[in-house]
Chains A and B, each alone.
Chain A
Amino acid sequence: MMTGRHTVEQQRHTVEGTDPGLFVEVHEPASDAGLRPVLLIHGFSSSSKLNWADSGWITTLQDAGRRVITVDLPGHGRSHSPEDLDSYTPSRIRADLLQIVTDAGARPLRDGDPSTGLDVIGYSLGSRLAWEFGATQPDLVHRIVLGGPSSADPLAAFDLAAAQRHLADGTPIEDQSTAGLLKMAQMLPSNNLFAMLSLIEAIKGEPFDPAEAAPHMPLLLVAGEKDERAATMPELASLAARRGGLVETLVIPGRTHTNVITSRAFKEAAIEFLGV
């Protein structure tokens, strides 16, 4: 496979005067068919490498002739871990994403021109960001695929005080969800724990409200059959459908929230959905 995998510090412009130091990669297609790029947004405590590269998404999209833009969220992967809380707010991240895709060559949608616009695939926390990004960028986003989506944000319910106590003196965390998320965050050496907690704090300040702004463009919602969080998927589907958008859903048998990501059925459905 002769893919032009490229690594570059893509960030050239800053939003609001500070550079959050997000690590961006642009992966060129196996053969360039002149199709609009695909932005991939990874989940909490993951990275572009874990979420998209190791799981085979990038090569699958490249083979399908797609140009792929990946971004590590602040404090994740190879991105910086800024000190200021503001860098972690979902609204700031969305603004940074917009600048990044523009720098990477995404252009506003023009009817009948398949090279314009941007497709977005999000996973878990990335799905939330993709939902909001689509809702706020109707002139840019062409289609969206949401993996492991949830109308509720588990991070918003995170018990930050308990987590900080636990980190300080080992006091056990009562809330199971909080304990699980913290364990996840601690597992990866590439994660900056301070940054993880900053992100959670910032998200608590801007909790997910899918009804506040729902995307109008076509949506594909995908979740594993055993993904408890995806119980709210129909809720998201109906919210989007009410805005008049085309909504498709897909449930992958036997898969959980964690392991649905590698599923071939997921990838094939996404490529087909975005290929339209």
Chain B
Amino acid sequence: MTTKPALAAVDDDAAPLSNQQLRELYTLMAAVRHLDTSAVAWQRQGIIPGYAPELGQEAAQVGSGYAVDRSRDFVFPTYREMGVARAMGLDMVGYMSTHKATWHGGMYNPVESRFAPIQAVVAGSVLHAVGWAHGQTLAAPDEGTGVAMTYFGDGASSQGDVHEAMNFAAVMKAPVVFFIQNNGWAISVPTERQVAGGSVAARAAGYGIPALQVDGNDVVAVYEATRSAFAHCRNGNGPVVIEAMTYRRGPHSTADDPGRYRTLEEERLDAGEDPLERFKQRLLADGVADEAFFADAQRKAEEEAEVIRMGIQDLGPRPGAEMFNLVFQEPTPALQSQATAWREESEHV
């Protein structure tokens, strides 16, 4: 499935993933799978009001997030990139707090995490990535530059901002990786009713941007494509489009009922291979890991999710004063007086 128009600087010299890295990738995917299914359960148990599952997209998310260099790159997510966040080592209680309805953007520090605040507007951050990336060019034009990676889906690719972002990035040769997770569904609308021309990657040609369409259920393929794209961007060759073909195995959100728009049979036929299981079989076959390792990864994933659950449950509501304090760096007198009135009238004296 991988098509390879020549990237100007394909990272052919890069060492293949070591066995330890392969095992680390699996451990990450297992952690993400378990946290994802746990979060759905937490919603049913009333611990969080809602959640956007990424079941089936673990390889696309972990494989791409694993390629990020946190010392210089920056990632612009939407609201379904839990696996990227985990692969980049985010504070996951801080990440999941958005689903607890604690703070829209999440409670992690985006500057330190190199992971922009969670974004509810699809395609909302594609242009931010272009701007950030161009900033890297302006700041240090000759060095191996930091790369921006922006995530969006097949649905979001319909938004006009995506066109603007790709055009800007190509014109300015901005070091941006446009990472599309084509998961087959934009809530109830299948890709074929969403994306004209068959793929998002195909559009890149119109902007003169090289595009890689990869099997998004193959974590190693995703990682390698992302690594090559980063190398291409870093060397001043401009943006790259990666379209990872995967499948949203779950509902759009915990309040969605996919039975209204797709049958179980269609799900079975379309879902393809389970990325986690597929990677496991590969590691087994190659002798990279054994059953004991997988059992251990599962145990660690369960322990980790348990710690996150406790962290989430311990998260109290933020102090209401933050509503007012965080609007401006330099608060206005009018807003301060509203804060005073709020404190007095809403029993927070």
Contact = CB atoms under 8 A, between A and B. Distances in A.
Whether the complex brings A and B within 8 Å at their CB atoms is answered yes
Interface string A1-41: 01011111000100000000000001010011010000000
A32 B291 CA distance: 10
A6 B295 contact: no
A6 B277 contact: yes
B295 A4 contact: no
A2 B33 contact: yes
Nearest to A7: B273
A105 B55 CA distance: 26
Given A8-B278, A32-B294, A105 B273 contact: no
B284 interface: yes
Contacts of A4: 274, 276-277, 280
Interface string A96-108: 0000000001000
Contacts of A6: 273-274, 277-278, 281
Given A2-B33, A2-B55, A12-B285, A115 B291 contact: yes
A201 B298 CA distance: 47
A40 to B, nearest CB: 18
Interface in B36-72: 37, 55
Contacts of A28: 277, 280
Interface residues of B, number: 16
Question: Which secondary structure dominates chain A's binding surface?
Answer: loop
A193 B262 CA distance: 35
A110 B26 CA distance: 29
B259 to A, nearest CB: 14
A28 to B, nearest CB: 6
B21 to A, nearest CB: 22
A136 to B, nearest CB: 25
Among B37, B276, B277, B280, the one with the most A-chain Cβ atoms within 10 Å of its Cβ is: B277
Interface in B260-276: 273-274, 276
Nearest to B276: A4
Given A12-B285, A32-B295, A5 B37 contact: no
Given A4-B274, A6-B277, A28-B277, 19 more contacts: A2-B37, A2-B55, A4-B276, A4-B280, A5-B274, A5-B277, A6-B273, A6-B274, A6-B281, A7-B273, A8-B273, A8-B278, A26-B281, A28-B280, A32-B295, A32-B298, A105-B284, A105-B291, A115-B291
Interface of B: 33, 37, 55, 273-274, 276-278, 280-281, 284-285, 291, 294-295, 298
7 contacts: A2-B33, A5-B274, A6-B273, A6-B274, A8-B273, A28-B280, A34-B295
Q: Which 10 A-B pairs have the closest CB atoms?
A: A6-B277, A4-B277, A2-B37, A4-B274, A8-B281, A32-B298, A6-B274, A28-B277, A34-B295, A4-B276
